[in-house]
């Protein structure tokens, strides 16, 4: 992007280009998606409203944007008819472009999305009997290069903006038809409490029975290398007058960006998942190279210090099962020992490795995974084995990678060497 500032991030390999909260558009209008109330009010004031009106309108517009999901100012029925064209001349309500939508034979859906400046990224929806989980991306590509992860074979193209992160969830609600329904008939322009009215059929709308119930920041990218935008997007998602999803239903997964973990707990406060994947320095250095910067001890200490972790809200340790690499009985016992040593309220998610073309590993055989799970479970730690979902459409964990970024083996080796050198 041309219009970016460089944000220094502790431990990052290169400064990551961070687009400003407002991405300039050719038509001069401003996309409101991704902006909080206060920022919207500022923009309304700058466009000529007095400060009281700007605040009130911002509150109304915020509700329509994030709680009701409207995509036209004309639909904002509690805003005076003359005001709506005024808004439409100056502002837009954006969504990422959908390039392609695929459905797996197990019901998993994957969307290939495109940013306004032409970068592709992906999001995945995984329906289950008792929940529906949206797997959201935080970056186009990834600076890290975990060796078992297809996204890691992409360069980082750029961080997604807060609007592009929250835009994924909004798009999913559009696609699933899950915005609260209803008109604002009889709504008093100046009385905002009326906004929580009845719908067309006289019913009060409710959040029950939704398909999309949970969000995991486990798509493309490392969310803690795009901290501000991910935090701002998650705040809109958790806002009771925004998308209104409870923080207990949101999980952020990190490969172990230790210096940002405390802030994640304090400023976002969602559930934490940590991509541990190995219990010795040697193996973790190889498969999760950020380990060379922040080692296992430091990482587990940051987990022990994570604000909000408790037996009721456990930290999830993700552990990808790689044949003959990290899947021995000794590895399982060492994992238990580490969790106990740091007194972590933990559960372990065992993820069978999802293969991709050219991947340097194989998945552990089922008996090995079963044995590993038993050892952890017998030590009193929950250790479910995750069923791979959406493999047939390359939607499973670690398979996300956009076609435009596919590289030859020689290019991959060069890229790995570059990333390794940068990590030192």
Residues recognised as catalytic: 122, 397
Instruction: Give CA–CA dist 351/373, Å, rounded.
Output: 11
When CB distances to ligand SAH are compared, the closest residue is 398
Would you call 242 helix, strand, or coil by DSSP?
coil
Q: Dump strand ranges (E) for 278-336.
A: 315-321
Sheet with 315-321, strands from edge to edge, namely 97-103, 109-114, 120-127, 132-135, 214-217, 250-254, 271-275, 315-321, 346-352
Cβ of residue 37: shortest distance to ligand SAH, in angstroms? 29
Per-residue string for binding with ligand SF4, 263-292, x by CB under 6 A?
------------x-----------------
Q: Is 316 in the site for ligand SF4 (CB under 6 A)?
A: no
Q: Is 146 in the site for ligand SF4 (CB under 6 A)?
A: yes
Among 58, 93, 149, 302, binds ligand SF4 (CB under 6 A): 149
Cβ of residue 254: shortest distance to ligand SAH, in angstroms? 5
Cβ of residue 274: shortest distance to ligand SAH, in angstroms? 7
351 interface partner picked from ligand SAH, ligand SF4, none, CB below 5 to 8 A per type: ligand SAH
Q: Is 137 in the site for ligand SF4 (CB under 6 A)?
A: no
CB nearer to ligand SAH: give 250 or 351: 351
Using the CB atoms, write b or e for 80-100: b if 16+ within 10 Å.
eeebbebbeebbbbbbbeeee
Which H or E element spans position 253?
Answer: strand 250-254
CB nearer to ligand SF4: give 23 or 226: 226
* Footprint of ligand SAH (CB under 6 A): 146, 148-149, 218, 222, 253-255, 275, 318, 320, 351, 353-354, 397-398
CB nearer to ligand SF4: give 63 or 401: 401
In degrees and rounded to multiples of 5, residue 351 shows phi and psi of -110, 110
When CB distances to ligand SF4 are compared, the closest residue is 152
Contact 346, 317 (CB under 8 A): yes
Instruction: Give CA–CA dist 294/297, Å, rounded.
Output: 8
CB nearer to ligand SF4: give 208 or 282: 282
Among 104, 115, 145, 402, binds ligand SF4 (CB under 6 A): 145
CB nearer to ligand SAH: give 61 or 290: 290
Q: Tokens representing 312?
A: 């009721």
Q: What pairs with residue 254 in β-bridges? A: 274
Kindly indicate which of the ranges 31-39, 46-54, 141-149, 348-356 contains the residues binding ligand SF4, using the contact rule CB under 6 A: 141-149
DSSP conformational letter for 198: B
Using the CB atoms, write b or e for 7-24: b if 16+ within 10 Å.
bebeebbeebbbbebbbe
CB nearer to ligand SAH: give 168 or 253: 253
Size of the residue set binding ligand SF4 (CB under 6 A): 11
Binding residues for ligand SF4 restricted to 225-264, rule: CB under 6 A:
255
Nearest residue to 308 via CA among 267, 257, 366, 354: 267
End-to-end CA distance of the chain: 27
354 interface partner picked from ligand SF4, ligand SAH, none, CB below 5 to 8 A per type: ligand SAH
Number of Cβ within a 10 Å radius of residue 351: 22
Kindly give, in sequence order, each residue whose CB lies less than 8 Å from that of residue 191, ignoring residues fewer than 6 positions away. none
145 interface partner picked from ligand SAH, ligand SF4, none, CB below 5 to 8 A per type: ligand SF4
Cβ of residue 317: shortest distance to ligand SF4, in angstroms? 14
Longest dimension (CA), the chain: 71
DSSP conformational letter for 398: T
Q: Is 222 in the site for ligand SF4 (CB under 6 A)?
A: yes
320 interface partner picked from ligand SAH, ligand SF4, none, CB below 5 to 8 A per type: ligand SAH
Q: Is 142 in the site for ligand SF4 (CB under 6 A)?
A: yes
In degrees and rounded to multiples of 5, residue 381 shows phi and psi of -115, 125
Nearest residue to 33 via CA among 74, 5, 61: 61
- CA 157 to chain CA centroid, Å, is 17
CB nearer to ligand SF4: give 33 or 142: 142
Residues that bind ligand SF4 (CB under 6 A): 142, 144-146, 149, 151-152, 221-222, 255, 275
């Amino acid at each position: 992007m041309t219009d970016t500032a460089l944000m220094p991030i502790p431990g990052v390999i290169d400064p990551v280009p961070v687009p400003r909260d407002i991405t300039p558009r050719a038509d001069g209008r401003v996309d409101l998606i991704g902006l909080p109330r206060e920022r919207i009010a500022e923009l309304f004031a700058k466009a000529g409203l007095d400060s009281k009106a700007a605040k009130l309108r911002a509150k109304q517009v915020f509700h329509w944007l994030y709680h009701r999901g409207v995509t036209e100012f004309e639909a904002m029925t509690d805003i005076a008819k003359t005001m709506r064209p005024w808004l439409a001349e100056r502002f837009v309500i954006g969504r990422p472009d959908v390039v392609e939508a695929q459905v797996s034979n197990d019901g998993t859906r994957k969307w290939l999305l495109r940013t306004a400046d032409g970068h592709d990224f992906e999001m995945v929806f995984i329906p289950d009997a008792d929940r529906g989980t949206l797997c959201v991306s935080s970056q186009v590509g990834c600076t890290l290069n975990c060796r078992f992860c297809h996204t890691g074979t992409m360069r980082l193209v750029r961080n997604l903006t807060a609007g592009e992160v929250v835009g994924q969830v909004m798009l999913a609600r559009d696609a699933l038809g899950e915005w609260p329904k209803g008109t604002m008939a009889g709504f008093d322009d100046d009385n905002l409490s009326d906004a929580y009215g009845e719908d067309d059929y006289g019913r009060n709308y409710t959040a029950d029975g939704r398909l999309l119930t949970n969000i995991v920041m486990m798509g493309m990218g490392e969310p803690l290398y795009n901290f501000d935008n991910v935090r701002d997007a998650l705040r809109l998602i958790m806002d009771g007058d925004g998308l209104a999803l409870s923080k207990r239903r949101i999980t952020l997964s990190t490969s172990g960006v230790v210096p940002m973990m405390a802030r994640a707990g304090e400023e976002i406060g969602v559930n934490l998942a940590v991509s541990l994947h190995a219990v010795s320095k040697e193996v973790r250095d190889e498969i999760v190279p950020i380990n060379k910067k922040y080692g296992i001890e430091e990482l587990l200490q940051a987990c022990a210090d994570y604000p909000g972790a408790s037996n009721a809200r456990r930290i999830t340790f993700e552990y990808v099962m790689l044949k003959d690499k990290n899947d021995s009985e000794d590895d399982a016992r060492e994992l238990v020992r580490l969790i106990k040593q740091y007194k972590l309220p933990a559960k372990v998610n065992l993820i069978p490795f999802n293969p991709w073309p050219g991947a340097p590993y194989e998945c552990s055989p089922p008996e090995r995974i079963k044995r590993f799970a038993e050892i952890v479970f017998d030590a009193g730690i929950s250790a479910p084995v995750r069923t791979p979902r959406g493999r047939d459409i390359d939607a499973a964990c670690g398979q996300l990678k956009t076609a435009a970024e596919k590289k030859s083996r020689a290019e991959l080796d060069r890229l790995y060497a570059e990333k390794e050198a940068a990590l030192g």
